[in-house]
Homo-oligomer: A and B are copies of this chain.
């Protein structure tokens, strides 16, 4: 048996293990599958048509509303869980978003919950929650998209603290979702599970690395799931699927015993946070995890904090910074339109004002460069090593991370130098913030996100320049849906006035997307960011904003 056949066989075994957990009656026939895959922009509607009305009522609801129905005994935990299991199975067969299926465990627990209902229902009682395939759950793998880590089910002791919290809160874990191997890509693909498509428009990538989450929730296969973000991995799939996705400040949501790449790399750390269809659900979830579970008691990396999920009123003399771009990569017309709409709304509201947020191109560029440098500091050692363990071939999406032209890994002194540059850049941004007169200091900043979607294979034709810097800065950032692309209104970009080669490449890609018409109706994403680490505030502003557009 050759190495190649070995890895292929193992990958097939894993894929079969996964698919064996989907009931036969939930399996799509070939004709339906073809029809759904070809009807690129209508997955949600097409899945709706395959599900009973009663299930759609559940899957198109919100956690908060389902909880009310549970309390009023208008729904059972079983009904809710069944609806999401069914729908997730259907979505998965089209977009390929699941890596672990726990339908039977979830339904069993739902039945138990229905027969052992306490007088007061715990905050997430009977609510199915999906998890990115980094969270450890007893009895199933955490493969991070690596074949080498399959068929190594986790023990109870290895369970992530956040999973324990979810159990304590009454939630039901029903699926784990796909990631690109190593998570160090913004496209979601692995040799084991294949490619995860965008559930809003199958033409495009789901984004990454929490691509499975984004795609699943995008088509109502889950109301809320957990992703992680070291370089946009929550915000990009959220943006690409029209969701709310919060990259919290480090230390808000516990990462304890969540598997990861580059464990121990505490400079520009990965953070864990929710992706959700509904913003109130997301805020409710954050308040449960932070205020109820108090993660700092158990996880030494967590910091005491109160997450305010109840207030919707913004304080007086509210200042919103609008970031129209870094002067390196210009924004596409859709983003400018969305930002202008926000600016106008703010300026037309009494007691609020918009200011231009415009840190220097040098600083924005430095933040971006640092993040990229950090990601290749080990010259791809860890990722290469993981691929070698199973013999699976390196993925194209990871080659920029791994094939580093013979440079040895950083020494510890080089790493400390980079860490120092991170702090200096963070301070420079703080100094920029403090350079505003106090009455003009932004409470939140509105920033573009990923500018535009990309087709499989085109990951590097977009930019992370509006993404990575907030990881380096550790600013909490909530990705929010902010309208959709209208090809006629938004139109082409002028290639001849491109600022540089990179800008030209991106403008060209945008024009291609517009000319093909594929991008028509695609969600526009913006980020609401706090320069003072105030996670509650970004959510509060987003609630205000979304209630007005």
- Chain A: residues with CB nearer than 8 A to chain B? 256, 262-267, 297-301, 303, 377-378, 381-382, 408-421, 423, 426-427, 430, 434, 474
A412: chain B residues at CB < 8 Å are 377-378, 409-412, 414-415
Chain B residues with CB below 8 A from A410, complex form: 411-412
Chain B residue with minimal CB distance to A266? B419
Beta-carbon contact of B300 and A423 below 8 Å: yes
30 contacts between A and B (CB under 8 A): A256-B427, A262-B416, A263-B420, A264-B415, A264-B417, A264-B418, A264-B420, A264-B423, A265-B419, A266-B267, A297-B434, A298-B430, A298-B434, A299-B427, A300-B423, A300-B426, A300-B427, A300-B474, A303-B303, A377-B412, A378-B413, A381-B411, A381-B413, A408-B411, A409-B411, A409-B412, A410-B412, A412-B414, A412-B415, A415-B415
* Distance (whole angstroms) from the CB of A534 to the closest CB of chain B: 10
Once the chains are docked, how many angstroms separate the CA of A427 from the CA of B262? 19
Among B263, B298, B408, B430, the residue within 8 A (CB) of A416 is: B263
Bound Cα distance from A301 to B425, whole angstroms: 12
Other contacts beyond A378-B412, A411-B412: 8, CB < 8 A:
A263-B416, A264-B418, A264-B420, A265-B416, A300-B426, A408-B411, A409-B413, A412-B415
CB-CB nearest in chain B for A427: B300
**What's the Cα separation between A299 and B410 when bound, in Å?**
28
Tell me the bound Cα distance from A36 to B430 in angstroms.
51
Question: In the assembled complex, how far is the CB of residue A69 from the closest CB belonging to chain B, in whole angstroms?
Answer: 36
Complex Cα spacing A418 to B264, Å: 7
**CB closest chain-B residue, reference A531:** B300
Give Cα A427–Cα B264 distance, bound, in whole angstroms. 14
- Please report the C-alpha to C-alpha distance between residue A282 and residue B434 in the assembled complex, in whole angstroms: 30
A442 → chain B, closest Cβ, in Å?
15
Most chain-B Cβ atoms within 10 A of its Cβ — which of A265, A408, A415, A434? A415
B300 touches A411 (CB 8 A): no
Which residue of chain B is the closest to A416 with respect to CB atoms?
B264
Q: Once bound together, how far apart are the Cα atoms of A265 and B409, in whole Å?
A: 17
